[in-house]
Amino acid sequence: MSADLSLTRLPAREVVQLLEVGEVSPLELIDAALARIEQVEPAVNALPTLCPDRAREKAKTLPLRPEGGRGWLAGLPVAIKDMMEVEGVRTTYASPIYKDYVPDFSHPMIERLEANGGLVLAKSNTPEFAAGGSTFNEVFGKTRNPWNTSLTCGGSSGGSAVALATGEIWLAHGSDHGGSLRKPGSFCSVVGLRPSPGRVTRGTVGNLFSPSSVEGPMARDVPDLALMLDAITGRDNRDPLTIHPPARSFFDTTMAALANGRNGLAGKRIGFTLDYGGTVPVARAVREVTEAAAYKFEDMGCVVEEAFPALGTIAEVFQILRAQIFVVNRHKEMAHHRDQLKADILWNTEKGLAQTPEQLAWAERERGAFYRRVLAFFDTYDFLACPVVNVPPFDVDLRYVDTVDGVQIENYIAGSLTTSAISMTACPAISVPAGFDDFGRPIGLQLVGPPQDEAGLLAIAAVFEEMTGLAKLLPIDPRPGEVPPF
């Protein structure tokens, strides 16, 4: 019997309903996903590692549905970024150092996901150690953008974004430090959420007490994203920053907002900025698409005004604190496998080793000052809207774009200020599709909510998404194309 590829086009929440009533089985979904993967992988290279036998075995012994059913996936196959350990599955961290590594344990987030009925079917491609704004590595090669396979899908959660956009999978995992969930979301016209620190466990990473890096969900639309968030959120004693989930599930809150529509948003105040008062270079195509998208909130009864928290020195602060995290997490590899690490990782780690205590102290003080400015902004406004990425998708062979709007960009981190600045706030942020430029390249809108208000952020993003209708374009077949002029 041939696989039913029509299943791959359905939203995750509809597939879960079919699973719950027995109209489809997890094994049928595995077969459907594998058939779709076989169709599109040669063009995009999004899911280089598959584990169907493990998924089938797990499907035979699904756990009991948790009381209340929060986040219950009922045997739905998912993809996991190749930075997270899955027991018995090759986990390379996209590095030649670990190209043959097979862990005998699963990351705590995977334990939670599987306890909620998720089936890990594949590992998604990422830059080496998730360091980079374009998804390529020496182990698996490049991942290509399905809207135009000559372009990058962004990074570092690029494989997950592409797998969603092409219908290879229904839900996917990503991680985010400087924008690794949001940038691929924007470039591939899918949805990526950077949750508040502590919303999803980071397991036992070296920088357990840092709020900079987070794990999070990716999906084709906001309701599916909320479902995935419910499946992975919650308190974990192994991660001291984790918090308990809200009394009402994120999925229920999101669906209620959709049912209420624009009525629930009337009077909401949105501060909007394209470039933070001219301090961030932004390409013309991004300006046009994101500005038009942001002012659509006025049609939803919202007040949209140009307003933003001043960035101040946060670009330098991010680079200093990021480099210190590289010392914590990558110094061991640099000491023993220097010749196998790419230049970006060596640069980040060496920068951290060269920093002085005075620099670190200054950066922490400046981050605190920026956070206070953000809180003052949210005293007046309910949400911040701004570009996700300051450029549209670019040549798949480039690491980053070195000139934006006439301004020279020193390195790939400096080109990610639209997302990295938000990372420094510890506020939840989501990338939602905003539209396409003249060359058909996807561009996203970034929405930022107050601290720990994922529920409110998902609600406004869901209503916005329903109004644009862009989520209904997915999934797509990969499309070849040329690199547009920049």
Domain map (residue ranges) of the chain = 10-473
- pLDDT over 90 (residue 67): no
Phi and psi at 187, nearest 5°, equal -70, -25
Q: How far apart, in Å, are the Cα atoms of 79 and each of 37, 111, 267, 345?
A: 12, 14, 38, 25
pLDDT digits (tens, 9 = 90+) for 340-382: 999 999 999 999 999 999 999 999 999 999 999 999 999 999 9
Phi and psi at 137, nearest 5°, equal -160, 170
Q: How far apart, in Å, are the Cα atoms of 357 and each of 332, 346, 360?
A: 21, 20, 5
Residues near 175 by Cβ (< 8 Å), separated by ≥ 6? 81, 83, 84, 130, 156, 157, 181, 213, 214, 215, 216
Alpha helices in 52-150 (DSSP H): 52-60, 108-115
**Rounded CA separation 476/468 (Å):** 17
Give the mean pLDDT of the chain: 97
- pLDDT over 80 (residue 1): no
pLDDT digits (tens, 9 = 90+) for 137-182: 999 999 999 999 999 999 999 999 999 999 999 999 999 999 999 9
E-state strands within 125-199: 171-176, 191-194
Question: In CATH, what is the architecture of 10-473?
Answer: Alpha-Beta Complex (3.90)
- Please name which of 354, 270, 370, 272 lies closest in space to residue 320, comparing C-alpha atoms: 354
**Rounded CA separation 178/423 (Å):** 6
pLDDT confidence bin for 422, thresholds 50/70/90: very high
Percent of the chain with pLDDT over 90: 96
Q: What is the mean pLDDT of residues 396-418?
A: 90
Helix count and strand count (H, E) for the chain: 14, 13
Q: Tell me what pLDDT residue 480 has.
A: 98
pLDDT confidence bin for 414, thresholds 50/70/90: confident
Residue whose tokens read 């000139």: 403
Phi and psi at 77, nearest 5°, equal -70, 140
Cross-sheet strand order for the sheet of 303-306: 49-50, 118-124, 76-81, 171-176, 214-219, 191-194, 429-436, 442-448, 383-387, 269-272, 303-306
Residue whose tokens read 């709020």: 211
Q: Contact at 8 Å (CB) between 457 and 422?
A: no
pLDDT confidence bin for 66, thresholds 50/70/90: confident
Residues near 3 by Cβ (< 8 Å), separated by ≥ 6? 28, 31, 32, 34, 35
pLDDT confidence bin for 230, thresholds 50/70/90: very high
Q: Tell me what pLDDT residue 280 has.
A: 96
Residue whose tokens read 């010749």: 339
- pLDDT over 70 (residue 466): yes
Phi and psi at 285, nearest 5°, equal -60, -40
pLDDT digits (tens, 9 = 90+) for 376-394: 999 999 999 999 999 999 9
- pLDDT over 90 (residue 410): no
Cis-peptide, bond into residue 357, ω within 30° of zero: no
Cis-peptide, bond into residue 156, ω within 30° of zero: yes
Q: Contact at 8 Å (CB) between 309 and 370?
A: yes
Q: Tell me what pLDDT residue 211 has.
A: 93
Q: What is the mean pLDDT of residues 177-203?
A: 98
Q: Three-state secondary structure along 320-381?
A: HHHHHHHHHHHHHHHHHHHHHCCHHHHHHHHHHHHCCHHHHHHHHHHHHHHHHHHHHHHHHC
pLDDT confidence bin for 214, thresholds 50/70/90: very high
Residue whose tokens read 């308990």: 244
Tokens of residue 244, six digits: 């308990």
Alpha helices in 213-283 (DSSP H): 222-232, 250-260
Which helix (H) or strand (E) segment holds residue 123: the answer is strand 118-124
Residue whose tokens read 């590095």: 95
Task: Decide: residue 384, CB within 10 A, 0-12 exposed, 13-18 middle, 19+ buried.
Answer: buried
DSSP 8-state class, residue 419: H
pLDDT digits (tens, 9 = 90+) for 243-276: 999 999 999 999 999 999 988 899 999 999 999 9
**442-448 and 383-387 beta bridge pairing:** antiparallel
Q: Contact at 8 Å (CB) between 121 and 169?
A: yes
DSSP 8-state class, residue 25: -
- Which residues are tagged catalytic? 81, 156, 180
pLDDT confidence bin for 415, thresholds 50/70/90: confident
pLDDT digits (tens, 9 = 90+) for 283-310: 999 999 999 999 999 999 999 999 999 9
